[in-house]
Structure 1
Amino acid sequence: MFDKLTKQPVDKIMQLMQMYREDSRDGKIDLGVGVYKNAQGVTPVMKAVKEAERQLLESQETKAYVGLLGDPAYHDAMIDLVLAGAVAREQVAAAATPGGTGACRQAFELIQMANPEARVFVSNPTWPNHLSILKYLEIETVSYRYFDEDTRAVDFAGMMADLDGLKAGDVVLLHGCCHNPTGANLNLTEWQQVVDKLNAKGAVPMIDLAYQGFGDGLDDDAAATRLVAASCPETLIAASCSKNFGVYRERTGILLGVSADASKSALVQENFSFLNRQNYSFPPDHGARVVTMILTDPALRKMWEEELEETRLGMLKLREQLAGELQRLSGSDRFGFVAQHRGMFSRLGLPSEAVDKLREENGIYMVGDSRINVAGLNEKTVPVLARAIVDAGS
């Protein structure tokens, strides 16, 4: 049997991580993997997470299964964090999942069950795993323009023109904030126009919300998701706690299905249960329980929000520093977009030869399309990166 297996495509980001690990040079810089790092290059355990885990260790008396959909208290806490009353609670079905990736996978499978003919419209570019999972499930995808390579901003006119091709029942995958890999986001006026287009076409929005709190703040980053959920008859939302709670390895995510009324929501909930049972039965609970404790305890929540805000502002400061340093060294403001983008990522627009040169000559690792993880920088490495970019002739 095994000899009939074929080799699978190499994950370029995983390959980049391996190359970085094998590089013995001092001063190498990792801007590839999408994990938050502090100025010391460490992905820290947040103080609120440590305290919640301490309390949990002392109080937890069983490791028995919670339920196919996870803990209802986790559902309520996350629904409040993401939607904040934008729709009635009874309109929302919820399922705890192994991270945001698990939520996306379950959402795609639900789409396939509900409408095998549905096409999923995906931004160009998008997170590579979106396309990988959709291809594996043999769901037809349609690319829509999103990023203007010249301005490094959203190509909104192109996006709307491509969404004209929607048919009733199609799904549009949208990034709720902090677009990965570009860092370029729609404004709320543009979001409203997208909502109007979806409703006119009878299409269903699916929002991947992986970075709430990393862009403009917890509420601002969720504003578009709340607008869509309140304005469309049906919405799927895949949310992750990996970044904003720093619980990457705990695989803590949630899938939400917003329906027009409670009776439809109950049907969605039943299907979420079925899908969880088929894929992994009971979702992991440790991370979800820690998140629930933080969100429902005023002292822990205050601690968490303060640290998250410190993280967000730190990334904005690095963006501004990098944009300023590039302008100083190059005499051009063509990298000004770096300060305007939000979240962990920006796509710099460097040619592949420059990306290779930065890695080979300077030990600076970024994804081949020149996506950088801003959180991989610190005050001392920003000038190093800026100088290397300018010296590479970019």
Structure 2
Amino acid sequence: MLSNLKEQPKDKILGLMALYREDPRPTKIDLGVGVYKNAEGVTPVMRAVKAAERKLVEEQTSKSYVGLAGDPAYSEAMCDLLLADSVDRARLAAVATPGGTGAVRQAFELVKMANPDARVFVSDPTWPNHVSILGYLGIPVVKYRYFDTETRAVDFEGMMEDLADVTSNDVVLLHGCCHNPTGANLNLTQWQSVIDLINDKGCLPMIDIAYQGFGDGLEEDAAATRLVASSVPQLLIAASCSKNFGIYRERTGLLIAIGEKAENTAVTQGNLNHLNRQNFSFPPDHGARVVTEILTDPALKADWMAELEEMRLGMLGLRQQLADELQKLSGSDRFGFIAQHRGMFSQIGTTPDKVEILRADHAIYMVSDSRLNIAGLNAHSVPVLAKAIIDAGI
């Protein structure tokens, strides 16, 4: 039977990582993998995470299973962080998941259970795993215009034209902040227009928020999600703790489902629990406990917020440095968008052959769609990248 298996398509980012590891050039720069790194090229364990883990080691008395939905205290703490008081909690169901990817997968599974005929509208481009998971589940994908490769900003007119085709049977997938892979975000006025369209069409919005705190700040990055939550009758939210808590390998995520009426919450919660049971039974708990400890301890939360802000400002500084360096070398403002984008990524809007020139001639590794990880840079590598971009004719 196993001989009938077919080789699966290679993951582009994992393939890029392998090429980078094998490259002997000492000047090589990794801008492909989507992981935060400090100036030394290390993904650090945050101070508050270390402290929370020490406390857990000392005080935790059992490693027994938690409930199918995970620890309720984790869901409550995360809902406070994401939603504040923007929605009636009685309308809200939530489950812990293995990372933000697990939350996305469970959300799509829930959509398929609720409406087998649903289509999911995704931005063009979007995080590749969105489309991959939808394809695996057999859910039709419809792309809507999002990124203008000339201006490197949101093509809002094109986006709204394409979303005009949405029906009440469809799902519109949106990035809560720090759009991956482009770094280009909607402003709140544009968000309100999207909300108006969603309410007019009667479709189900879904928000994937994986970078809260990496863009304009914790509260600012949650503003769009809160606006949607307070304005629509139903909403799915897939959240990740990998980036803003730096606990990638702990696989800590949350899926929130907001229903129109509180009396339907128990049924929604039951379906979420059922999906967890079918896919992995009980969700992982260590990362969730760490997050809960941090968010419910004022001193730990303050230290976490301070370190997260240092990380955010560091990425903004690298963005500005790169934009300034490219302006100096090119004699134009055409790369000014880099300083305007937010989060870990920017898509510089060039062709795969130019990206290959960067790799082959300059040992600079980025995804073929020209997404670069700003957090993979430091003050010394920014000028190297800028010169390589100009030399490659980008």
> Normalising TM by the smaller chain, what interval?
over 0.9
Gapped regions of structure 1 (runs ≥ 5): none
CA RMSD between the two structures: 0.6
For 1:277 and 1:126, the matched residues in 2 are separated by 29
Other-structure match for 2:297 = 297
Other-structure match for 1:163 = 163
- Secondary structure of 1:231's counterpart equals coil
For 2:66 and 2:329, the matched residues in 1 are separated by 56
- Secondary structure of 2:113's counterpart equals helix
In the TM superposition, what is the alpha-carbon distance from 1:90 to its structure 2 partner? 1.3
Q: Does 1:114 align with 2:98?
A: no
- Secondary structure of 2:168's counterpart equals coil
- What CA deviation, in whole Å up to 9, does each residue of 1:282-304 have, x standing for no partner? 00000000000000000000000
Q: Does 1:40 align with 2:40?
A: yes
Please give the TM-score of this superposition, normalised by the length of structure 2.
Answer: 0.99
Other-structure match for 1:241 = 241
Other-structure match for 2:57 = 57
Describe how 1:28-107 pairs up with structure 2 within 5 A: 28-107=28-107
- Secondary structure of 2:43's counterpart equals coil
- What CA deviation, in whole Å up to 9, does each residue of 1:322-370 have, x standing for no partner? 0000000010110000000000000011222221111011110000011
For 1:35 and 1:194, the matched residues in 2 are separated by 30
- What CA deviation, in whole Å up to 9, does each residue of 1:212-251 have, x standing for no partner? 0000000110100001111110000000000000000000
- Secondary structure of 2:212's counterpart equals coil
- The AA in structure 2 aligned to 1:330 is S
- The AA in structure 2 aligned to 1:211 is Y
For 1:350 and 1:146, the matched residues in 2 are separated by 16
Other-structure match for 2:208 = 208
Other-structure match for 2:282 = 282
- The AA in structure 2 aligned to 1:280 is F
Q: Does 1:334 align with 2:334?
A: yes
Other-structure match for 2:139 = 139
Other-structure match for 1:196 = 196
- Secondary structure of 2:357's counterpart equals helix
Describe how 1:259-274 pairs up with structure 2 within 5 A: 259-274=259-274
- Secondary structure of 2:230's counterpart equals helix
- The AA in structure 2 aligned to 1:276 is N
For 2:213 and 2:190, the matched residues in 1 are separated by 21
In the TM superposition, what is the alpha-carbon distance from 1:100 to its structure 2 partner? 0.3
For 2:224 and 2:252, the matched residues in 1 are separated by 22
- What CA deviation, in whole Å up to 9, does each residue of 1:53-89 have, x standing for no partner? 0000000110000110000000100000000010011
Other-structure match for 1:382 = 382
Q: Which moved more, 1:349-358 or 1:329-338?
A: 349-358
- What CA deviation, in whole Å up to 9, does each residue of 1:103-126 have, x standing for no partner? 000000000000011110000000
For 2:344 and 2:110, the matched residues in 1 are separated by 29
For 1:393 and 1:195, the matched residues in 2 are separated by 40
Describe how 1:312-351 pairs up with structure 2 within 5 A: 312-351=312-351
For 1:224 and 1:268, the matched residues in 2 are separated by 24
In the TM superposition, what is the alpha-carbon distance from 1:261 to its structure 2 partner? 2.1
For 2:355 and 2:120, the matched residues in 1 are separated by 31
For 1:389 and 1:214, the matched residues in 2 are separated by 25
Other-structure match for 2:127 = 127
- The AA in structure 2 aligned to 1:349 is G
- Secondary structure of 2:150's counterpart equals coil
- The AA in structure 2 aligned to 1:364 is I
Same amino acid, percent of matched pairs: 69
For 2:16 and 2:381, the matched residues in 1 are separated by 19
- The AA in structure 1 aligned to 2:115 is N
For 1:176 and 1:119, the matched residues in 2 are separated by 20
- The AA in structure 2 aligned to 1:291 is V
- What CA deviation, in whole Å up to 9, does each residue of 1:26-53 have, x standing for no partner? 0210000000000000000000000000
For 1:344 and 1:301, the matched residues in 2 are separated by 22
- Secondary structure of 2:195's counterpart equals helix
- The AA in structure 2 aligned to 1:205 is P
Q: Which moved more, 1:10-19 or 1:349-358?
A: 349-358
Gapped regions of structure 2 (runs ≥ 5): none
For 1:352 and 1:284, the matched residues in 2 are separated by 38
In the TM superposition, what is the alpha-carbon distance from 1:260 to its structure 2 partner? 2.0
For 1:263 and 1:245, the matched residues in 2 are separated by 34
- What CA deviation, in whole Å up to 9, does each residue of 1:139-161 have, x standing for no partner? 01101000001000000000000
- What CA deviation, in whole Å up to 9, does each residue of 1:241-283 have, x standing for no partner? 0000000000000000011222112111000000000000000
- Secondary structure of 1:284's counterpart equals coil
> Number of paired residues?
394
For 2:270 and 2:106, the matched residues in 1 are separated by 13
For 2:321 and 2:266, the matched residues in 1 are separated by 49
